[in-house]
Amino acid sequence: MTASYPEVAYARAAMSGRDEAVDTLCKVWLHTVYAWCHRLGGPGIDAEGAAHDVLLVMVRKLHTIRSAEQFPSWLFGTCRRVIANRRRKAWLKRWVPGPIRERAHPGHTPERSVEARQAADVVWNALDALPSAQREVLVLCELEERSGTEAAALLGVPLGTVKSRLRVARRTFREVVESSGGASAVDGSRAVEVN
């Protein structure tokens, strides 16, 4: 199923300045924003905190957007800036001790949890090895299964740029995962059409 961002109609209503419309816009985008913060920020940053910051910026700067059609792209850019800021702070705080909080998963045995965490670490490392522009297209097109056109609109770049970034990102991601022995099977690339 292709993930699609909510309609710009919510943005248009919120830009009219009505408080309840702003609330609705925040609620409609909350899950998407949190998912972006989680997937693009990685385990080193607090995705909930980042999503919270994005919503605050959204409410405070909504009036600066020129048209509702630009809202998704603007919001994605805001996520990108907040995540970059959080990464800088995380880098500064890297000596602070204490594990990242884990949430209990009632269906997982300890062994399964460890295996899942190790597999996730390989993927996080591979994503981390990518430049942010490539990580973004990989998350949008592969993980969220957005079309190339949709990703291009969100990123504010031409479709051709999305395609070329995606091609390089796939290659680098595959190399990193395979070199760390993380791929479950090497069976050739699965083609995802970008249109």
Partner 1 sequence: MDIRTELLKLPELDSAAPDRVWQRFQESRRRPASRSWSLPLIGLATVAAAALFVFSPAWMADTPRSVSFSPDSFAGETKWSEVVTLELDGRGTARGTDRDLEISLESGTILAHVQPNTGTQLAVVTDEARVQVVGTVFSVTRGPLGVRTEVTRGKVQVDCADGWSGSVTPEQGAHTCLPIRPALLLTRADALLDAGAADEVLVDTLDRGIALAGPQGVVGGELLVRRMRAHGQAGRVDEALSDARLYLEGSENTRDIEVNRYAGWLAMGARGCGAAIQFLSPLQQAGSPEDRILLAECVAASDPNRAGDLLAESLGQSLDDTWRERARRDLEALGGR
Q: Which positions lie near partner 1, rule CB under 8 A?
A: 26-27, 30-31, 34-35, 38-39, 46-49, 51-52, 55-56, 59-60, 96-101, 103-104, 106-107, 116-117, 119-120, 122-124, 126, 138-139, 142-143, 145, 170, 173-174, 177-178, 182-190, 192
- Shortest reach from residue 66's CB to partner 1, in Å: 18
- Shortest reach from residue 96's CB to partner 1, in Å: 8
- Residues 6 or more apart in contact with residue 45 via CB below 8 angstroms: 37, 83, 86, 87, 90
- Shortest reach from residue 121's CB to partner 1, in Å: 9
Say whether 105 sits in a helix, a strand or coil: coil
Number of CB atoms found within 10 A of residue 177's CB:
20
Residues recorded for the chain: 195
CA 58 from chain center: how many Å? Answer: 17
- Whose Cβ is closer to partner 1: residue 69's or residue 117's? 117
- Shortest reach from residue 162's CB to partner 1, in Å: 15
- Whose Cβ is closer to partner 1: residue 69's or residue 164's? 164
CA 179 from chain center: how many Å? Answer: 24
- Whose Cβ is closer to partner 1: residue 156's or residue 192's? 192
Which tokens is 60 given? 């405070």
- Whose Cβ is closer to partner 1: residue 31's or residue 81's? 31
- What are φ and ψ of residue 37, in 5° steps? -65, -40
- Whose Cβ is closer to partner 1: residue 69's or residue 178's? 178
CA 25 from chain center: how many Å? Answer: 19
- Shortest reach from residue 191's CB to partner 1, in Å: 10
What is the chain's Cα-based Rg?
18
Are the C-beta atoms of 177 and 122 separated by less than 8 Å?
yes
- Whose Cβ is closer to partner 1: residue 123's or residue 129's? 123
- Shortest reach from residue 13's CB to partner 1, in Å: 18
